[in-house]
């Protein structure tokens, strides 16, 4: 027995030694490969101090809140040079936050490959539209663009109205009561909307506050963000053996099981509909309107060679729509509610516009109504300037590039910090002030096209931005048709964090009052 134990320990030690050797070899390769980049970019201003192999990683705050503060502080310190060098492990990153430097990357049809850090999203989202590159991205983009056609969005508007009504019913129990955190209400509403529009399934998330999927999305975001800035967690073998890696796997299982179940149910539903249609009369088929979801379109979609998408292809796109389609919109809505509550004079202007458009009617919002809500649209744009849902955009250069006279070698990762970009005082005087009037047509003349990029820009801009704006406008208008919003929470009390999405870690605490009439 003692001999067996000794042999086991000896074998374990040999395995451990092999792992250490392999990791050392991998790290040495990365250091050697990036030494040339370090020499070529030696003159670019950088964050100090940095350490061999680990770079600036030891300086980074462990929390998403602290990390965002650090990056914002660094970019403000170096704003005069318009770019900044940063090291995470042995990999160099260039941070951009000025319109001219950002334009070089975003306008390019060459620099469309996502940053190395996006690979940590791939276990969850695969290589779908968000994370793919090259031929696959071009093919998917071309294939999926028609799913966001105007006529399809009109069908989705009714779904948004229905779930916004449920949200109002949920919020009414807080009328004239103590302050409450509104974040979970908004998140569950946007989850209901994306499930019904992306998957054609009403999951009733607003009726079940303990939605397992929501918890898994938020925890997965935290885990991915922490791994991105911790190079010792990058190797898959080490990560799978860590506590975080095991938790990552558990949440991944929840997320994929949810998607798998819905896809399976949708396939069965389509088969049943086909059987029913085969037996139905032509008049029945004409009279019954079927609202198609993104999943229906994905199941019908074909690539440029006429080939249908495989199961995993469909799942990675649905997972991408689910994540990007509910969490980013929920963040924008929560920031909008907070800012309107902090600025009653602006909220009154929104109420006045709503009264002009709807009067005393309680009809569902239409596309024509939304077109008339021009001031509300400016409010949303200003919200996204101050609090862009995605505070960082990452790309990797597939060829050498010159920015502000500095050579950035091929293979370097570039991070665009939209949060700081949107606060350039040359473009937005008194940038911390909430002023929707900035986006009035007459005030937007001559605005640099890359000074404001809440949905990215160029060939790889957000494919779902019209959907997101439609949803944000509809939900916000529905809430404000019913309530007056107040808050005593100061901006420094928000606990703003930038993991994958810009969110408040301390909640958005508001009070709801009865909606004043226009005459009052």
Beta bridge pairs of residue 413: 93, 396
Report pLDDT for 520.
43
Q: Answer whether 316's CB lies under 8 Å from 298's CB.
A: no
How many Å apart are CA 82 and CA 328, to the nearest integer? Answer: 27
How many Å apart are CA 26 and CA 169, to the nearest integer? Answer: 56
How many Å apart are CA 20 and CA 26, to the nearest integer? Answer: 10
pTM for the full model?
0.88
How many Å apart are CA 328 and CA 451, to the nearest integer? Answer: 20
**Residue 417 main-chain phi, psi, to 5 deg:** -95, 90
Residue carrying structure tokens 């995470």: 88
Kindly list the distances between the CA atom of residue 263 and the CA atoms of 188, 198, 201, 473, in Å, as whole numbers in the listed order. 20, 11, 10, 29
Half-sphere exposure in the Cβ direction for 77 (13 Å, CA): 13
How many Å apart are CA 311 and CA 318, to the nearest integer? Answer: 11
The per-residue pLDDT for range 172-194, each reduced to its tens digit, is: 999 999 999 999 999 999 999 99
**Which has the closest alpha carbon to 396: 134, 120, 112?**
112
Query: Which residues in 380-443 belong to E strands, given as ranges?
Result: 392-396, 401-403, 406-408, 413-417
How many Å apart are CA 111 and CA 399, to the nearest integer? Answer: 8
How many Å apart are CA 26 and CA 232, to the nearest integer? Answer: 12
Local structure of residue 308 (DSSP, 8 states)? B
How many Å apart are CA 420 and CA 402, to the nearest integer? Answer: 21
How many Å apart are CA 501 and CA 220, to the nearest integer? Answer: 12
Q: Confirm whether 26 is domain-assigned.
A: no
Q: Confirm whether 372 is domain-assigned.
A: yes
How many Å apart are CA 173 and CA 177, to the nearest integer? Answer: 8
Report pLDDT for 353.
97
Query: Which residues in 105-201 belong to E strands, given as ranges?
Result: 180-181
Q: Answer whether 116's CB lies under 8 Å from 413's CB.
A: yes
- Residues with Cβ within 8 Å of 501's Cβ and at least 6 positions away in sequence, in order, are 221, 327, 328, 331, 389, 390
How many Å apart are CA 50 and CA 55, to the nearest integer? Answer: 5
Local structure of residue 116 (DSSP, 8 states)? G
How many Å apart are CA 270 and CA 108, to the nearest integer? Answer: 41
Beta bridge pairs of residue 414: 94, 395
Cα radius of gyration (the chain): 25
- Residues with Cβ within 8 Å of 510's Cβ and at least 6 positions away in sequence, in order, are 179, 180, 182, 337, 338, 341, 485, 486, 487, 489
**Residue 128 main-chain phi, psi, to 5 deg:** -80, -160
Q: Confirm whether 144 is domain-assigned.
A: yes
> Chain-centre distance of CA 413, in angstroms?
19
How many Å apart are CA 238 and CA 244, to the nearest integer? Answer: 10
User: How many folded domains does the chain comprise?
Assistant: 1
How many Å apart are CA 52 and CA 215, to the nearest integer? Answer: 37
Q: Confirm whether 478 is domain-assigned.
A: yes
Report pLDDT for 296.
83
By residue range, what is the domain housing residue 251?
41-514
**Which has the closest alpha carbon to 79: 87, 67, 71?**
71
Q: Confirm whether 27 is domain-assigned.
A: no
Residue carrying structure tokens 């008339």: 372
What CATH code is carried by the domain that includes residue 439? Answer: 1.10.630.10
Local structure of residue 55 (DSSP, 8 states)? B
Beta bridge pairs of residue 496: 504
3-class secondary structure, 406: strand
**Which has the closest alpha carbon to 350: 375, 368, 326, 370?**
375
Half-sphere exposure in the Cβ direction for 311 (13 Å, CA): 9
Report pLDDT for 382.
98
Regions of the chain where pLDDT drops below 70: 1-34, 150, 209-210, 278-291, 303, 516-520
Q: Answer whether 267's CB lies under 8 Å from 299's CB.
A: yes
Q: Confirm whether 20 is domain-assigned.
A: no
Please classify residue 391 by burial: count the beta carbons closer than 10 Å to its beta carbon, then call 0-12 exposed, 13-18 middle and 19+ buried.
buried
Local structure of residue 199 (DSSP, 8 states)? I
**Residue 373 main-chain phi, psi, to 5 deg:** -85, 65
Local structure of residue 430 (DSSP, 8 states)? S
The per-residue pLDDT for range 393-427, each reduced to its tens digit, is: 999 999 999 999 999 999 999 999 999 999 999 99
How many Å apart are CA 375 and CA 268, to the nearest integer? Answer: 45
Q: Answer whether 501's CB lies under 8 Å from 331's CB.
A: yes
């Amino acid at each position: 027995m003692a001999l067996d134990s000794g042999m086991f320990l000896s074998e374990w030690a040999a395995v451990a030694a092999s792992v250490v050797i392999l990791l050392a070899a991998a790290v040495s390769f990365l250091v050697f490969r990036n030494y040339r980049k370090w020499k070529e970019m030696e003159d670019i201003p950088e964050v100090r101090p940095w350490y061999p192999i680990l770079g600036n990683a030891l300086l980074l705050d462990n929390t998403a809140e602290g990390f965002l503060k650090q990056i914002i502080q660094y970019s403000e310190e170096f704003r005069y040079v318009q770019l900044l060098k940063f090291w995470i492990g042995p990999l160099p990153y260039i941070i951009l936050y000025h319109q001219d430097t950002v334009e070089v990357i975003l306008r390019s049809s060459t620099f469309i490959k996502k940053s190395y850090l996006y690979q940590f999203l791939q276990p969850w989202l695969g290589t779908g539209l968000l994370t793919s590159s090259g031929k696959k991205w071009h093919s998917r983009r071309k294939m999926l663009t028609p799913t966001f056609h105007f006529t399809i969005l009109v069908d989705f508007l009714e779904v948004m109205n229905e779930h916004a009504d449920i949200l109002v019913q949920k919020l009414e129990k807080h009328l004239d009561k103590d302050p409450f955190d509104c974040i979970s209400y908004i998140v569950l509403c946007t989850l209901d909307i994306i499930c019904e529009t992306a998957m054609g399934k009403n999951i009733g998330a607003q009726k079940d506050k303990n939605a397992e999927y929501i918890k898994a999305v938020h925890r997965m975001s935290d885990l991915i963000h922490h791994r991105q800035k911790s190079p010792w967690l990058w190797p898959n073998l080490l990560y799978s053996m860590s506590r975080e890696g095991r938790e990552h796997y558990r949440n991944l299982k929840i997320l994929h099981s949810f998607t798998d179940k819905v896809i399976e149910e949708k396939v069965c539903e389509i088969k049943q509909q086909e059987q029913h249609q085969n037996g139905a009369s032509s008049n029945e088929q004409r009279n019954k309107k079927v609202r198609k979801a993104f999943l229906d379109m994905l199941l019908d979609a074909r690539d440029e060679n006429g080939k249908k998408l495989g199961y995993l292809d469909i799942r990675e796109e649905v997972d991408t729509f689910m994540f990007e389609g509910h969490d980013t919109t929920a963040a924008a809505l929560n920031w909008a509610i907070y800012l309107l509550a902090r600025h009653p004079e602006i909220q009154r202007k929104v109420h006045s516009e709503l009264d002009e458009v709807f009067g005393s009617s309680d009809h569902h919002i239409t596309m024509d109504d939304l077109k008339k809500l021009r001031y509300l649209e400016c409010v949303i744009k200003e919200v996204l300037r101050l609090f862009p849902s995605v505070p960082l955009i990452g790309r990797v250069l597939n060829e050498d590039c010159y920015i502000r006279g500095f050579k950035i070698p091929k293979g370097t990762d570039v991070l665009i910090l939209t949060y700081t970009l949107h606060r350039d005082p040359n473009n937005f005087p008194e940038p911390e002030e909430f002023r929707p009037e900035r986006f009035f047509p007459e005030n937007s003349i001559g605005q640099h096209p890359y000074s404001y990029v809440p949905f990215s820009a160029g060939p790889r801009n957000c494919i779902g931005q019209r959907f997101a704006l439609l949803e944000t406008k509809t939900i916000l208008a529905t809430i404000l048709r019913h309530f007056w919003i107040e808050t005593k929470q100061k901006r420094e009390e928000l606990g703003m964090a930038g993991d994958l999405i810009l969110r408040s870690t301390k909640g958005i605490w508001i009070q709801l009052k009865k909606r004043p009439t226009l005459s009052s």
